[in-house]
Structure 1
């Protein structure tokens, strides 16, 4: 009889953990890109909904990630030959997010195991997928690393450890800074609750990033009517050059 009771208790433990769910809030779910847009900061906050008391054991940790639209990227290696730099090998990185920010409530490796990272693709390295490179290309992984290194330098990729505040294992909040040169599209915000390195719950929502006003008109025109867009750009350049030369001539005459 005691063995049956112990078995039932063990079965109830995962169920209790699964009762922890995210209730999320965003300071804004839409980012408008205008002529004077110089970046945005999004406050992400929420609470943990439970049907049972906080389970014993490791404390609850929170991971928040914001992922921009992904696209293939061809990375080329340059080498110096005969005194000049030339492209040699190239590798297609199948999917690289245009923006990727991860905020955590503790050091990343302490709150998420490598197995869970592989399953959910949370870290920057796991978020980038690369197709198989040709056998003759040496150091194929270096091409994916180059994408990460370049975009980290541009503040497009970042891991911000210890930036998620968690109160009483129930309330959490953080802010994600988004740069000025955002790619238009849907940005996926993901929240993971972890205990002992294992994901116990996750939640996803979308942040809409769009050009508005004149930027939207010019963007659509460049895609849908490229000939007219080119002619308009040429006319503006000619008019600006003529206006500048006229202004300088009048200044010299005075």
Structure 2
């Protein structure tokens, strides 16, 4: 038995070493983003290199896929129908895991450089990143609802696929710029980088970007979340003061 285990270790050791022959070294231009009153979005430079412990293995060319994912939230997607001249909500599907932001950047066409098996395993493409869980009773209808959510968020600039935007030099150095929109949700944004060859993922690495409100926006947000009664009273006082001020200004104009 011991001899058999030793033989297995001798056979598997070179395979494990080859699996780690190519690995990712990752860098980010910034690891935090502050949302202020004049925030109009931000651009993150994601760069890195492929570290090799042995000569480049045989096979197709190496490819790079970069994803940036915002905090996931549950979403209810409803379908409207026109009945008697009135638009009303009819069917609905609850999507348990929908990233608030999702961007994919690649060195080439995604379908050409990533197999469906590894896409399913690593949840890389936008449809795969949207996970509709617990809707088996609506399984036939759920794909159309997921497509509708993807289409709406693409129009809002919150989901996008940028094929061919990752610059890859001599199969070693890579870089890409990912644009973060102004309507960001606070939280940790997950950055993932995948190396693929012949459609299979060779290695992957994960990083993170922290996004939070800053300045007066942070104070108002924290007050609304932690002291809702005080926030409501202050809002009421400000509304009364603003109304009185507008009325006084009109009287002076007259």
TM, length-normalised to structure 2: 0.90
Q: What is aligned with 1:224?
A: 226
Q: What is aligned with 1:73?
A: 75
Distance 1:197 1:14, change over 3 A: farther
2:129 pairs with 1:127: yes
Q: What is aligned with 1:213?
A: 215
Stretches (4+) displaced over 4 A: 8-14
Residues 221-254 of structure 1: CA distance to partner in whole angstroms, max 9, x if unpaired?
111111211121122222223223333333x34x
Q: What is aligned with 2:40?
A: 38
Q: Which of 234, 237, 248 lines up with 1:235 in the alignment?
A: 237
Q: Which of 133, 148, 151 lines up with 1:146 in the alignment?
A: 148
The gaps in structure 2 that reach 5 residues or longer are: 1-9
Q: What is aligned with 1:185?
A: 187
Range moving further from structure 2, 118-127 or 229-238 = 229-238
SS in structure 2 at match of 1:206: strand
1:81, distance to aligned residue in structure 2 (A):
1.5
TM, length-normalised to structure 1: 0.90
SS in structure 2 at match of 1:223: helix
C-alpha distance in 1, partners of 2:236/2:46? Answer: 44
Q: How does 1:49-128 map to 2 (within 5 A)?
A: 49-128=51-130
The gaps in structure 1 that reach 5 residues or longer are: 1-7
SS in structure 2 at match of 1:55: coil
2:162 pairs with 1:164: no
CA contact (8 A) 1:79 1:88 kept: yes
RMSD: 2.0
CA contact (8 A) 2:93 2:138 kept: no
